[in-house]
Structure 1
Amino acid sequence: MKVCVVGQGGREHAFASALARTADVVVTPGNPGIDGSTSAAPDEIDADLYVIGPEGPLADGLADRLRASGRLVFGPGADGAALESSKAWMKEVVSAAGVPTAAYAAFDGDPAGRRAAHAYLETLPPPYVVKTSGLAAGKGVLVTDELAEAHADVDAKLDGTAFGDAGRRIVIEEGMRGPEVSLFALCDGRRAVLLPTAVRDHKRIGDGDTGPNTGGMGCVSPLADVDRAACVELAALAFEPTLTELIRRGVDYRGVLYAGFMLTPDGPRLLEFNVRFGDPEAQVTLPRVENDLAQLLAGAAAGELIDEVVVSDDAMVCVVCAAEGYPAAPRTGDVIAGLERAREVPGVTVFCAGVGAGDGRETPSESLVTGGGRVLNVCGRGPDVSVARDRAYDAVRQLSWPGMTYRNDIAAAEAAAAAALRR
């Protein structure tokens, strides 16, 4: 089978690596660190299956256009992708489906909408949650205990200062507290099949969950506090009811549903749905799928999904190494040193995310430069979280470029929790 992966980051590198076990893979546009990258457009590539990685092309209708030309595509059409491209519509859908979620209200940027947004904020206790309704690369959410900061964020989003058109419609939600967890399910238009492993992302830039939100600074799977039985319970809460509601609305959803939950003292609540594999969550999930991934995704795309997805019990920890200035203004063009040494650490895979080609003067092992905010995804794998974490950080310490940024505490709490359960 020939598979075309659409995208250019670490998630797409993880897709390419996992699919290459059984398929011939091409990645468009890819990047200089991903084998099989090409500048050809997706519709110029003759493939048996197209796997669309990022949310942007999905929201723009790429899956619809490819299907209209007779191609087999893993990824929802623009109507289903609205679950992510319009958080306001997503909240409407899950509320209609009876999925437990935070109370909310949506507001536009006209004068009446702006006044209503500020008035609604005043009715809520902290923490205050303000989200762009549109796509913002995972960075469009403010969570704060400061009412003044929330008011300022409403204005910055609605007038386009913060996120352009993506923020001109916002969702303000009831604040919730508790640990977060992500789950994935594959959908074939009729049913959803769970990937039975939970993932926890670390969104903020700094240790101890400090600083601004990013696209994700690292993640860990599985979790000691969310076992497979709990995964099944969470899936029943969200995936099937939502897919049923989508079918009722005429949406033929073929792709992945990515559910983010908060485990509150009053029970789990859905935070969001995304319409693609998370990044970097995919990097600790896809390598552990034991099915033939190409056949699995092709079955979902064809409406003939198998009954069970098998995921290894191994643990994986991903540490994101970012460029200086990320997330506000990442610096690019710095030579990445130590990549081959990092890849030589046992149990480690390094996925290339924001990389560019060097000028040819570097050695073959150091021919890549920083080309984006999140540069490399360093993933350790082992029999438990502690071993996987140690391996990931051993590899991170082999890497360097000017201003390289990473968190030192990815999966620290999960490793401690796993160790406590063993005692």
Structure 2
Amino acid sequence: MRILVIGNGGREHAIIAKLAQSSRISKIFCAPGNAGTALLADNVAIGVSEQEKLAQFAIEQSIDLTVVGPELPLLEGIVDQFEELNLPIFGPQKAAAIIEGSKTFAKDMMQKYNIPTGKYQAFTNSKEALTYVRQEGAPIVIKADGLAAGKGVVVAQTLEEAEKAIIEAMDDKIFGAAGDQVVIEECLIGQEVSLMAFVDGKNVAPMVVSQDHKAVFDGDKGPNTGGMGAYSPVPQIAGEVIQQAIETIIHPMVDAFQQEGIHYKGVLYAGLMITDEGPKVIEFNARFGDPETQVVLPRLKTDLVDVLLAVVEGRLGDLQIEWSDSAAVCVVMTSPGYPGSYPNGLEVTFPHRLNDHTVVIHAGTQEKNGRVITAGGRVLGVTSLGNTLQESQQRAYETVKQIRFEGAHYRKDIASKAIH
């Protein structure tokens, strides 16, 4: 089989690393890719939003399956365009991807179909939004309605922080049009868990759960990022609680799409808060999470190609998906200054040899004259497998310490919540 993966981040490199293990695959392409994907696939200089060029490439190269990594092309309708041309593609159509593209749409769907989530109000006027937070008080959560690369959410501990977040999003436009509308939510208390599921329109196959670390500094301090690392499994969350989330959140959401006449296929990602009242939804995404994919896919025992094709062809119900008992930890290394402004073009050096249980997933990298240089905020994700989280964590940090680039930043407590 010949496969095209769209995207240039860590998630796409992780997907390609898993696909490369399949005996069914003869060739992988990645558009546009990064320095890491180039080691396993042919990078193609086509941007994620260049739909017509991507479709043309898929036709010319006789691509058997296209896999969409990031949310932007999904929301721009790439799946719809490929399907019109009878090109097999993994990912939800535009009408389904809006679950990620609009926080208001997602919250309205949850309210309509009684899917547990926090209390909320949406605003298009900053004065009204400010009035509302002054009534509600802090802590409170401010979210830009549209896509903001994982950075459009502020968990405000004080009224001042909440007011600042509203003004920055709505008046100062720091997220552009994504902040024209904001959603203000009650602050849910508990532990966060990422639950992803394969969905073929009606059948649901949940993946193993993981936990992401959003804040930039140790101890969950500092501003939110696109993700500083992740681990799987999440032993401190009981299996029954995850089962409850599958039954009260994932299945009802897929049913809700059917009721709305929307065929949802691809990955449905639920960011959950495990509260005293049970699991509640913080957000939905319409694709594999990043960095969660880096720890979930290494635990998949079933051939990923078989799973993706079962989703695309609507036969997920016939497939028994197996997962390994091993533990995985991913530590993200970022450019200095991230999630604020940061330099690009810093040279990255790697150890001569990695241990057999570790893989370095490239995110914001490029190759230039035979060298790897930084080309983004999140530069690399170091993922290690082990029999226990402690073993995986130790292996990941051993490798992180051997990778060098100027001002490299990483959290030193990824997975510690589950170990101590």
**What is the letter of the counterpart of residue 324 of structure 1?**
P
**Paired letter, 2:365:** V
Structure 1, 213-222 or 30-39: larger mean CA deviation: 30-39
Q: Which residue of 2 aligns with 1:363?
A: none
CA distance in 1, matches of 2:65, 2:118: 37
Task: Tell me the alpha carbon deviations over residues 146-168 of structure 1, each in whole angstroms, 9 at most, x when there is no partner.
Answer: 10221121121112532010111
Aligned amino acid, residue 395 of structure 1:
T
Matches within 5 A, 1:15-414: 15-22=15-22, 23=25, 24-34=27-37, 35-36=40-41, 37-40=43-46, 41-43=53-55, 44-45=57-58, 46-108=62-124, 113-195=125-207, 197-305=208-316, 306-341=318-353, 344-360=354-370, 367-414=371-418
1:392 maps to a residue whose letter is A
Q: Secondary structure at the match of 2:359?
A: strand
SS at match of 2:121: strand
- The 8 Å contact of residues 87 and 133 in structure 1, kept in 2 or not, is answered as yes
Structure 2, unmatched stretches of 5+, are: 47-52
Counterpart-to-counterpart distance in 1, 2:350 and 2:4: 30
Q: Deviations over 1:32-60 (max 9, x none)?
A: 22131222542112311111000011111
Structure 1 distance, partners of 2:189, 2:218, is 19
The answer to whether the 8 A contact 1:221-1:285 is kept is yes
Secondary structure of the 1:198 match is coil
**SS of 1:393's equivalent?**
helix
Give yes or no for contact 1:107–1:114 (8 Å, CA) kept in 2: yes
Contact 2:271-2:284 within 8 A present in 1 as well: yes
Deviation for aligned residue 1:208: 1.0
CA distance in 2, matches of 1:200, 1:73: 28
Query: In the alignment, is the contact (CA less than 8 A) between 2:241 and 2:278 conserved in 1?
Result: no
CA change 1:340–1:229 in 2 (3 A) is farther
- Equivalent residue letter for 2:357: G
Shift of 1:227: 4.3
Checking the alignment, whether the CA contact within 8 Å between 2:196 and 2:288 is kept in structure 1 is yes
% identical aligned pairs: 38
- Cα separation, partners in 2 of 1:76 and 1:240, compared to 1, 3 Å: same
- What is the distance in 1 between the residues matched to 2:330 and 2:135? 39
CA, structure 1 residues 226+293, in 2 after alignment: closer, same or farther (shift >3 Å)? Answer: same
1:266 Cα deviation (Å)?
A: 2.3
Q: Find the aligned partners of 2:305 and 2:171 in 1 and give their Cα distance.
A: 44
Gaps of 5+ in 1: 361-366, 417-423
Alignment correspondent of 2:6: 6
Query: Could you tell me whether the CA contact under 8 Å between 2:241 and 2:279 is conserved in 1?
Result: no
Would you say the 8 A contact 2:6–2:31 is kept in 1?
A: yes
Distance 2:274 2:135 in 1: 24
Q: CA shift at 1:224, angstroms?
A: 1.0
* Partners of 1:10 and 1:271 in 2: CA distance: 23
Q: Post-superposition shift, 1:114?
A: 2.3
**Farther-moved stretch of structure 1 (299-308 vs 231-240):** 299-308
- Amino acid of the structure 1 residue aligned with 2:145: S
Q: 1:414 to 1:114 in 2, by over 3 A?
A: same
How many corresponding residue pairs?
403
SS in structure 2 at match of 1:332: coil
CA shift digits 1:285-308 (9 cap, x unpaired): 111111111111111012111343
Tell whether the 8 Å contact from 2:331 to 2:381 is kept in structure 1 after alignment. Answer: yes
Query: 2:49 maps to which residue?
Result: none
Q: Is the 8 A contact 1:198 1:227 kept in 2?
A: no
Q: Return the offset for 1:226.
A: 2.3
Q: How far apart are the structure 1 equivalents of 2:143 and 2:372?
A: 35
1:123 aligns to what SS in structure 2? helix
Aligned-residue offset at 1:176:
1.4
CA drift of 1:190 comes to 1.4
After superposition, give the CA deviation of every residue in 1:298-344 in whole Å (9 maximum; x if it has no partner): 11012111343221110000000111121111211111012544xx1
Distance 1:19 1:228, change over 3 A: farther
Shift of 1:230: 3.1
Deviation at 1:229, TM superposition (A): 3.8
* In 2: Cα distance, 1:52 partner to 1:114 partner: 35
3-state SS of the aligned residue for 2:36?
coil
